[in-house]
Structure 1
Amino acid sequence: MLVFSETRFDFCGDEYIYAELSKEMRIESTFKVITVTNELRKRDIPGLIEIYPSNTSYLIRYDPNVISPHHLLEYLQEVDRQKNDRSELTFSSRMIEIPVWYDDAVTRKTTERYEHLQPEAKGHDFSYVMQLNGFESSDAFTQAHSSVPYFITSLGFKPGNAWGFPIGIPDHRIIQAPKYKSPRAYTPSEAVGVGGAFTVVYPTESTGSYQLIGLSAVPVYDPNQSLSIFRDTFFLAKPGDLWKYRPVTEAEYHNIREEVSKRTYTYKVKPIQFSAERYEEEGSKYIQQLMEGF
């Protein structure tokens, strides 16, 4: 049963209030964070400037000349108590397909350049993560990683980056990997990485410390808004989205990249209504129902 401890609220300077639901990563807390922050946006509170949801917390920026911080705190506490009822934890979401060339030549070459940063890996990242999680073949690993959706819990690190947590799977089957002890100086754009239990797609070339297992064929960040899905935003991800990775061959990868460059690629998207109550009661069965026809 969904049970939440009391949310801790702290004032941060003159313009921010920080709310922490849990010190540990709990997907149930993320459900509440998304529901609460969606409700705050919907209410359009005067003086509320920005809302930043994260894995198990959120940050509010406000204008103290418009709203009293103590009145705002009381308001936040009221909404927080309301969302302790699991029947309230529902929100509109999207399932988005991300085609991935797993164990690709690009990230393999990249990680081989940085073998000295983690000699315990004894090879490139894909094989390291595969072995750490007990898989004997690349096909078995790829199938396992791509068989469940990844719940977008938070955005950050750099523009367009999004953390995805696997849901609808027992904890002991979640693919996990340690981060590099010292980060790489270079990570290719659209590289797919695993760090802890999270999977990310690097939006642009950057430093990085997640273990690289593949290459996304589609962008997750488009400052030029050249594809239709980016019409209203530069970022593909929204907190609460579900990303479903689909394995593609090298040839399929290049075909999709050509469509992207010609601006003809259309993302596969399925609007859904997510219910934390149903997820708690039905688990993987509920997630499989959400994925039907996708």
Structure 2
Amino acid sequence: MFNLPETHFNFGGDEYIYAEISRDMRIESNFKAIAVTEELRKREIPGVIDIVSSNASYLVRYNPDIVSARDLLDYLKEIDLTKSNPEKLNLSVRIVEIPAWYDDPVSREYSMRFKSRHPAPDLTDFEYVMKVNGFTDKESFIKSHSETPYLITMVGFLPGTGWHFPLGLQPNEIIQAPKYNSPRTETPERGIGIGGAFNVIYPVNGPGSYQLIGRSAIPLVDKTDPLEETSFLARPGDIWKYRPVKESEYNEIESSVRSGTYHNKVKEIDLSPLEYVQKGKKYIDELMEDF
């Protein structure tokens, strides 16, 4: 039987317990972090103030006047152990379509504005990502990037920022890129970036160091469909799928979002970590068949 990675626990001062599942980014570790933190929220343990899942770890903040560190640690270990068997894990998540305008003029403008901070100042961010990944044709790059489903592994940095990692690919198949030598002081709202093997969409204007390859036509922080219970589109465990759009459709979507008439394409699914471990890309392709 295949077990998910063993978790190592550490105390952070008097109010935090840090749980490290693995030091490297592994999809299996992220599945476990999401499953454990979801279970923790369901149990509503007295004294637990906040629960945050990350790429391959999670953090619990607690009130030591209500629950002792040792008692909470024992409780966390019990929950963590129950989430170490992938046969017993099933995550209820969504597949969400992200309409994306690749190599848009705003991204190119920011590339030029901050080129002194860039590892290749003579190239735009889009051109640089193409080059370091061996692409010579723009459409081939867009096809490769947009056909890959991405798992939301964590939410953070700027509020609502969804960090996402490619699913079902071998390491040599993943589009990757070095970050800026020093961060930009500004990044366009809804800018799509790549740093290392991770992708990100910046929800608002702010600093950033990922290579900008395009922009999302839909917001990440809003009260429009399908956000419902939260103002953040990104949810850990969800799968994002990019769909390339041209300028005219991008503008149409922006307009319908502003008028409140846009409805994003979303599919509710049950995600099995066990089937992903066993079947990899084949399993992801099966999930995406009707989307």
Structure 1-normalised TM-score? Answer: 0.96
Q: Any conservation in 2 of the 1:2–1:28 contact (CA below 8 Å)?
A: no
Aligned to 2:265: 268
Bigger shift: residues 141-150 or 66-75? 66-75
Matched with 2:46 is 46
CA contact (8 A) 2:195 2:210 kept: yes
Q: Tell me which amino acid in the other structure corresponds to 1:23.
A: R
Q: Which residue of 2 aligns with 1:132?
A: 132
1:246 alignment counterpart: 243
CA-to-aligned-CA distance 1:211-257 (integer Å, 9 cap, x gap): 000010000112xx2x1323321210110010001000011100000
Please list the CA deviations of residues 155-212 of structure 1 after superposition, one character each: whole Å capped at 9, or x if unmatched. Answer: 1111011100000122111000000011112111001000010111110011110000
In structure 2, the partner of 1:282 is 279
Paired position in structure 2 for 1:83:
83
1:199 is aligned to: 199
Q: Which whole-Å CA distance do the structure 2 matches of 1:242 and 1:4 have between them?
A: 20
Counterparts of 1:61 and 1:88 in 2: how far apart (Å)?
A: 27
**8 Å CA contact 2:4, 2:86 repeated in 1:** no
1:121 Cα deviation from its structure 2 partner: 4.8
SS in structure 1 opposite 2:131?
helix
1:172 corresponding residue in structure 2: 172
The answer on whether the counterparts of 1:95 and 1:272 sit within 8 Å (CA) in structure 2 is yes
| Identity among equivalent pairs (%) | 52
Residue in 1 that maps onto 2:233: 236
Contact 1:100/1:245 (CA < 8 Å) preserved in 2?
yes
In the superposition, relative to structure 1, how do residues 69 and 34 fare at CA in structure 2: closer, same or farther (>3 Å)?
Answer: same
* Unaligned stretches of 5+ residues in structure 2: none
> For the residues of structure 2 that align with 1:72 and 1:127, how far apart are their CA atoms?
50
**Structure 2 counterpart of 1:142:** 142
C-alpha distance in structure 2 between counterparts of 1:289 and 1:4, whole Å: 23
SS in 2 for 1:58: strand
1:221 maps to amino acid: V
Code of the residue aligned with 1:20 in structure 2: it is E
Equivalenced residues, count: 291
Structure 1 segment 144-159 matched on structure 2, within 5 A: 144-159=144-159
Aligned partners of 1:91 and 1:275 also within 8 Å? yes
User: Match of 1:34?
Assistant: 34
Partner AA of 1:229 in structure 2 = P
Contact residue 121 and residue 128 of structure 1 kept, 8 A: no
Give the superposition deviation at 1:3: 4.3
Contact kept in structure 1, 2:15 and 2:61, CA below 8 Å: yes
Answer whether contact 2:119 2:181 (CA < 8 A) is retained: no
Distance across 1 between alignment mates of 2:135 and 2:248: 25
- Tell me the distance in 2 between the aligned counterparts of 1:32 and 1:119: 36
- Offset of residue 86 of structure 1: 1.5
The answer for the alignment partner of 2:13 in structure 1 is 13
Distance 2:281 2:119 in 1: 37
Kept in 1: contact 2:151–2:165 (CA 8 A): yes
For 1:7 and 1:89, the matched residues in 2 are separated by 16
Structure 1 residue aligned with 2:98: 98
Instruction: Report the AA paired with residue 170 of structure 2.
Output: P
Is residue 2:52 matched to residue 1:55? no
Q: What TM-score does the superposition give when structure 2 sets the normalisation length? A: 0.97
Local SS of the residue matching 1:146: helix
Q: Corresponding residue for 2:213?
A: 213
* Other structure's SS at 1:136 match: coil
Amino acid at match of 2:8: R
Q: Following the alignment from structure 2 to structure 1, what is the Cα–Cα distance between the partners of residues 89 and 112?
A: 44
SS in 1 for 2:207: strand
2:4–2:85 contact (8 Å) kept in structure 1: no
Q: Residue 122 of structure 1: CA displacement?
A: 2.4
- 2:119 and 2:180 in contact (8 A); partners too: no
Runs of 4+ in 1 over 6 A off after TM superposition: none
